[in-house]
Structure 1
Amino acid sequence: MLDAEFAAFLRKYVGLQLQAVAPSLSGVSDIDETCLRVAIERTNHCTSRIKGFEGPRFNHLNSGQYATFLYYLAHQLGASADKTDAARVFLLNKALNGIDLYYEVQMPDVFLIGHTVGMVFAKAAYGSGCIFHQGCTVGRNQNDRPLLGPGIIMYPHSSIIGRCHVRENTVLSPGVQLINTDTPGDCLVFPGEAGRPVFKPISEYYADRYLKR
């Protein structure tokens, strides 16, 4: 499928899904073509860094890749002042993939959604090359928001909440909760006594397990 054909296909594909999930009263859901093409380019760039990825373009039938595309599309629509369609695409992503990633959140050019279900992303600062697994939460605590450095990995059902500076190459083990807590970086984080996290130094750059340099 040529690039122009793929873009035309996706425009129709997304439009039909929008009409089913967040319908327009006009009965038509024509997504802005420029925003669509930018979202395709950003998704192709992002997925090209994933280990095991083959092909010239992302796979719309891969839920993680499609969720990434819908985020970039919603974000681009929001940036172009089309707030209504941005919100509709956000709702579509939430309905299809169980992911809460609002279009105003600033995600980097490279990140990986391992499994989408139950993910929640606040308006935090996200470094490049972060890896997210199912059930993870990045949330604010009142006005305090996390800062995630590059190469952060959140394994299933881990959380980063509030005033946290999570430094580069921090790996949160399943179920760990960081609340108003910084990390030293280059570490594994495990749950300790009374909910206090325990940090174990590492030399391996864990994101390299998932992403190409």
Structure 2
Amino acid sequence: MDHKTMILDLNEKELTDLMVKQLRALLCFNESTELMDLKKAIQLAIDKIAYLIPRCKNKYYFKNGAPYFTPFHSGQNTIFCYFVSHILYVNLGNENLAERIFYLNKILNGINIYYTTKLPDIFYLDHAVGTVIGKADFSDYFQFRQNVTVGNNFNKYPRFGRNVHLWSGATVIGDCNIGNNVIISARTYLKDQDIPDNSIVFGKYPEITIKGKDEDYFLNNNYFNMDIK
């Protein structure tokens, strides 16, 4: 999708100016050496946002029927800052600035998504304060909420299929294989466990309950417009 078809609350220059002011006030920023990379990262992040937002059902992601991005919506700002930090690290090789954008995201939005973490092109978060998203293998239509933890156990990392939803307080660590179309219920704790496709999961390691559902249940109960190709 061309980002020109998306409504921007702030244009690219205004977004850049805002992030520069935030960095100067809260961390540090060297305009003479870092501004070019930041501009490029923001431009690429807007492209990613423009691809993501039409695929989400959140009513605040639209204005007058058109996809809408504002940095003053905490969820959108969280995603935007993550994209900027990850692009700086992967595309532009500027780890120093990527780390500061990561900290800026942490300060502003209370979330820990490290810039080395590779989230999918299509994901969704809601009220994700206190969440830690570490290294894992993620697939499209990944969604999570507040106080969620994803990470390693003895250097083993989770793998997530498509359309996985982590509700508030859920934890997934270690050598976990999570199938497609899975809901991990609130405060569920998984460690080194496999979950089959089309499942709702409850409980805490090692005692968990898995409830199977038809695939349509998961396709109709998520936060994505999955018909958009």
TM-score (norm 1): 0.92
- Verify the 8 A CA contact 2:81 2:102 in the aligned structure 1: yes
- Verify the 8 A CA contact 1:19 1:27 in the aligned structure 2: no
Counterpart pick for 2:130 among 118, 131, 143: 118
1:170 matched to 2:186? The reply is no
1:210 matched to 2:215? The reply is no
Aligned length: 211
Residue type of the alignment partner of 1:210: Y
How do residues 55-94 of structure 1 correspond to structure 2 at under 5 angstroms?
A: 55-79=66-90, 80-94=92-106
How do residues 50-199 of structure 1 correspond to structure 2 at under 5 angstroms?
A: 50-51=56-57, 52=59, 53-54=61-62, 55-79=66-90, 80-191=92-203, 195-199=206-210
Unmatched runs of 5 consecutive residues or more in structure 1: none
Please report how far the alpha carbon of residue 175 of structure 1 lies from its aligned counterpart in structure 2 after TM superposition: 0.3
CA distance in 1 between partners of 2:53 and 2:218 (Å) = 19
CA distance in 1 between partners of 2:181 and 2:7 (Å) = 38
TM-superposition CA deviations, 1:157-208 (whole Å, max 9, x none): 001010000001110111000100000120110116x741100011211574
Task: Between 43-52 and 103-112, report the one with greater CA deviation.
Answer: 43-52
Task: Between 122-131 and 17-26, report the one with greater CA deviation.
Answer: 17-26
Please report how far the alpha carbon of residue 103 of structure 1 lies from its aligned counterpart in structure 2 after TM superposition: 0.8
Unmatched runs of 5 consecutive residues or more in structure 2: 1-5
Counterpart pick for 1:34 among 40, 56, 59: 40
Please report how far the alpha carbon of residue 7 of structure 1 lies from its aligned counterpart in structure 2 after TM superposition: 0.3
Please report how far the alpha carbon of residue 28 of structure 1 lies from its aligned counterpart in structure 2 after TM superposition: 8.8
Counterpart pick for 2:22 among 3, 17, 21: 17
- Verify the 8 A CA contact 1:147 1:166 in the aligned structure 2: yes
TM-score (norm 2): 0.86
Please report how far the alpha carbon of residue 44 of structure 1 lies from its aligned counterpart in structure 2 after TM superposition: 2.0
CA distance in 2 between partners of 1:126 and 1:207 (Å) = 21
